[in-house]
């Protein structure tokens, strides 16, 4: 499937054209085409084969030819030519928060800054603040941006890690020599970010497996190659470690390489206390191996109930396992609907109907279409008249699709003073109201906390979305007083969201667990902007599992008739 590749190429073109100061409409055309292609639910090659590329929104004759070229050759000459005109590092620099094409152009022309390394050096040297339109504050923001950019590079988001790992696992699984295969490490524990990818295989033919692994088409370099462990670097510079063990040690190795280190240390101590020895090959009594084939038997020998990977952080799971009070963790199948998503009515790339079709595919009982509110002009927020039209469309779709309930909602902006962007008489007409902060992230803890609390206190607000505002690699979370927010959310029966988007995943696992303990209801949403995004729900569920949540703790596991939305 080349949809993503084509969208990326078109986005790169738009950015380069902007750096070169080209015509706005030409730039916009590439951006729009990229968004349309990203939101297609079918493989673009189907359109090529049926000669229907022109039916895609924003694709004319010129772009059609370019798409055909990418599909048949995997690249585009036009982009290669464009790239020759500007330094490679300049395009990467656009990934630094705060650096848009205009700033990049200015920095390049005035200071000959060509990449992130030079950018950092010049900012430290205080050379940027004197440029026209810059200043000390901008220079400081650039340094903060570089920090965030670097952090984003050090660790992968959970979706990227999952995609890379399962692509490799799917290929290796086909080898007849492979008996068992699993991801291990932080990916198996579903941490929000992952440094490198660990994969474990059981087999008695390691040579064949290591040969196949190091020769995968995704592999750029082999860092190490042995019979028990090999490490490679993919073309995207992601490190993947593969370990092959024999079947009788598979459970022990899986336990060891899943970690976390803290969990492993505690396990070893428990073994020692019982006069046993534990390592990655098994549990031993003297010289005799008494467990090792499965994780279950390993835990059992230590008098423990099986502990799910997401809980293995030494944060109370041993005590709970001994006392048989481990949570019955929420599962993706428990989710009955998604209560936060956007459509083409605001800044989404798919129509409401496309969102509904995908939601039905996922087996949902209900969904809420929550486009942005009027003040958020940049995100296509809806005025009151548009809300009426949208409501009518939803009424029609509710008649057409009887097997899913479509809720008419909004993601209403909480302004810098804590007021909502629609008056109560408008909110009252909604089936559901999601409220969120979109600006003023640098206010004091007290003010941001107050803004969120006053949104909770509005009787029509059901959910506070992405409560900390963080975006991996581009924005730190803002400071809020969680104790106060949890109290207000509980007392006003307002749910707090785990946003499943891989760059957000907030509330995070730690805050979610505290919220649960404070008696707050949690909701897991995707905040989708195109139909495929709805599949991100599993990452939000992962956060919930790491936070020890059960089905009953989560609002959108309820059936529609039990979904008691506030103010209704």
Question: What distance in Å separates the CA atoms of residue 388 and residue 405, rounded to the nearest whole number?
Answer: 18
Residues near ligand DGT (CB under 6 A), total = 14
Footprint of ligand DGT on 4-23 (CB under 6 A): none
Question: In this structure, are residues 58 and 33 in contact, taking their beta carbons and an 8 Å threshold?
Answer: yes
Nearer to ligand DGT, 70 or 238 (CB): 238
Q: Examine residue 198 and tell whether it contacts Ca ion (CB under 5 A).
A: yes
Question: What distance in Å separates the CA atoms of residue 255 and residue 264, rounded to the nearest whole number?
Answer: 8
212, 216, 220, 222 alpha-carbon torsion, rounded to 10°: -10
β-pairing, 239-245 with 197-202?
A: parallel
| Backbone torsions φ then ψ of 396, nearest 5 degrees | -65, -45
Q: Which does 534 bind (CB under 5 to 8 A by kind): Ca ion, ligand DGT, none?
A: none
Whole-number minimum distance, CB 196 to Ca ion, in Å? 4
Q: Which stretch binds ligand DGT (CB under 6 A): 33-41, 119-127, 256-264, 269-277?
A: 256-264
Nearer to ligand DGT, 256 or 422 (CB): 256
Among 144, 260, 294, 493, binds ligand DGT (CB under 6 A): 260
Among 8, 45, 196, 347, binds Ca ion (CB under 5 A): 196
Integer angstrom CA distances of residue 42 from 36, 39, 534? 12, 9, 15
Q: Which does 497 bind (CB under 5 to 8 A by kind): Ca ion, ligand DGT, none?
A: none
Nearer to Ca ion, 65 or 221 (CB): 221
DSSP symbol at 217: T
Whole-angstrom Cα Rg for the chain: 26
Q: Which does 546 bind (CB under 5 to 8 A by kind): Ca ion, ligand DGT, none?
A: none
Question: In this structure, are residues 283 and 277 in contact, taking their beta carbons and an 8 Å threshold?
Answer: yes
Question: What distance in Å separates the CA atoms of residue 164 and residue 218, rounded to the nearest whole number?
Answer: 9
Strand-pairing partners, residue 412, are: 435
Q: Which does 259 bind (CB under 5 to 8 A by kind): Ca ion, ligand DGT, none?
A: ligand DGT
Orientation angle between helical segments 445-457 and 482-491, nearest 10 degrees? 10
Whole-number minimum distance, CB 284 to ligand DGT, in Å? 16
Nearest-CB residue to Ca ion?
A: 185
Nearer to Ca ion, 120 or 295 (CB): 295
Among 259, 349, 375, 409, binds ligand DGT (CB under 6 A): 259
Nearer to ligand DGT, 254 or 291 (CB): 254
| Backbone torsions φ then ψ of 243, nearest 5 degrees | -120, 140
What is the x/- site pattern for Ca ion, positions 172-191, by CB under 5 A?
A: -------------xx-----
Q: Examine residue 186 and tell whether it contacts ligand DGT (CB under 6 A).
A: yes
Give me 305's structure tokens: 């109930």
Footprint of ligand DGT on 304-363 (CB under 6 A): none
Footprint of ligand DGT on 192-221 (CB under 6 A): 194-196, 198
Q: Which stretch binds ligand DGT (CB under 6 A): 251-259, 411-419, 487-495, 536-544?
A: 251-259
Which helix or strand (DSSP H or E) is residue 423 part of?
none
Among 182, 234, 249, 264, binds ligand DGT (CB under 6 A): 264
The 3-state secondary structure of 532-561, one letter per residue: HHHHHHHHHHHHHHHCCCEHHHEHHHCCHH
DSSP symbol at 247: G
Nearer to ligand DGT, 81 or 154 (CB): 154
Nearest-CB residue to ligand DGT?
A: 259
Nearer to ligand DGT, 283 or 407 (CB): 283
Number of H helices, E strands in the chain: 23, 17
Nearer to ligand DGT, 66 or 188 (CB): 188
End-to-end CA distance of the chain: 44
Question: In this structure, are residues 504 and 437 in contact, taking their beta carbons and an 8 Å threshold?
Answer: no
Question: What distance in Å separates the CA atoms of residue 123 and residue 127, rounded to the nearest whole number?
Answer: 6
Per CB under 6 A, residues contacting ligand DGT are 185-186, 191, 194-196, 198, 256-257, 259-261, 264-265
Per CB under 5 A, residues contacting Ca ion are 185-186, 196, 198
């Amino acid at each position: 499937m080349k949809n993503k590749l084509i969208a990326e190429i078109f986005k790169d073109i738009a950015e380069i054209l902007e750096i070169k100061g080209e015509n706005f409409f030409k730039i916009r055309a590439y951006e729009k085409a990229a968004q349309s292609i990203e939101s297609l639910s079918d493989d673009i090659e189907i359109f090529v084969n049926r000669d229907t590329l022109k039916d895609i929104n924003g694709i004319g004759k010129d772009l059609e030819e370019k798409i055909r070229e990418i599909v048949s050759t995997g690249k585009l000459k036009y982009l290669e030519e464009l790239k020759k005109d500007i330094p490679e590092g300049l395009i990467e620099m656009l990934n630094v928060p705060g650096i848009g094409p205009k700033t990049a152009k200015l920095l390049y022309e005035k200071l000959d800054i060509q990449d992130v390394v030079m950018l950092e050096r010049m900012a430290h040297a205080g050379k940027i603040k004197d440029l026209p339109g810059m200043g000390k504050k901008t220079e400081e923001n650039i340094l903060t941006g570089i920090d965030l950019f670097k952090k984003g590079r050090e660790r992968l988001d959970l979706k990227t890690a999952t995609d890379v790992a399962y692509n490799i696992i799917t290929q290796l699984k086909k080898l007849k020599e492979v008996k068992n295969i699993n991801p291990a490490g932080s990916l198996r524990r579903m941490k929000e970010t992952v440094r490198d990818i660990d994969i474990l295989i059981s087999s008695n033919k390691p040579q064949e497996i290591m040969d196949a692994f190091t020769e995968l088409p995704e592999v750029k370099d082999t860092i190490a190659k042995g019979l028990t462990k090999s490490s490679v670097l993919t073309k995207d510079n992601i490190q993947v470690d593969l370990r092959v063990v024999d079947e009788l040690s598979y459970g022990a190795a899986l336990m060891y390489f899943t970690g976390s280190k803290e969990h492993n240390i505690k396990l070893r101590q428990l073994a020692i206390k019982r006069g046993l020895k534990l390592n990655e090959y098994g549990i031993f009594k003297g010289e005799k191996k008494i467990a090792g084939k499965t994780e279950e038997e390993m835990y059992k020998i230590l008098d423990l109930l099986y502990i799910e990977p997401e809980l293995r952080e030494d944060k109370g799971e041993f005590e709970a396992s001994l006392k048989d009070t481990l949570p019955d963790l929420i599962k993706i199948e428990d989710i009955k609907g998604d209560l936060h998503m956007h459509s083409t009515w605001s800044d989404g790339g798919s129509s409401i109907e496309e969102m509904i079709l995908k939601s039905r595919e996922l087996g949902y009982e209900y969904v809420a279409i929550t486009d942005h509110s009027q003040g958020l002009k940049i995100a296509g927020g809806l005025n009151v008249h548009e809300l009426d039209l949208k409501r009518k469309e939803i009424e029609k779709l509710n008649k057409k699709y009887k097997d899913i309930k479509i809720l008419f909602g909004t993601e209403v902006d909480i302004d810098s003073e804590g007021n909502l962007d629609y008056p109560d008489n408008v909110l009252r007409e909604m089936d559901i109201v999601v409220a969120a902060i979109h600006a003023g992230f640098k206010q004091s803890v007290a003010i941001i906390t107050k803004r969120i609390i006053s949104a909770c206190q509005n009787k029509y607000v059901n959910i506070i979305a992405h409560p900390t505002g963080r975006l991996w690699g581009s924005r730190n979370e803002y400071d809020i007083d969680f104790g106060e927010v949890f109290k207000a959310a509980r007392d006003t029966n307002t749910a707090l969201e785990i946003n499943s988007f891989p760059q957000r995943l907030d509330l995070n696992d730690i805050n979610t667990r505290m919220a649960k303990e404070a008696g707050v209801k949690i909701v897991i949403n995707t905040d989708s902007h195109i139909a495929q995004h709805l599949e991100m729900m599993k990452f939000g569920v992962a956060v919930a599992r790491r936070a020890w949540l059960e089905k009953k703790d989560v609002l959108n596991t309820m059936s529609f008739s039990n979904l008691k939305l506030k103010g209704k």
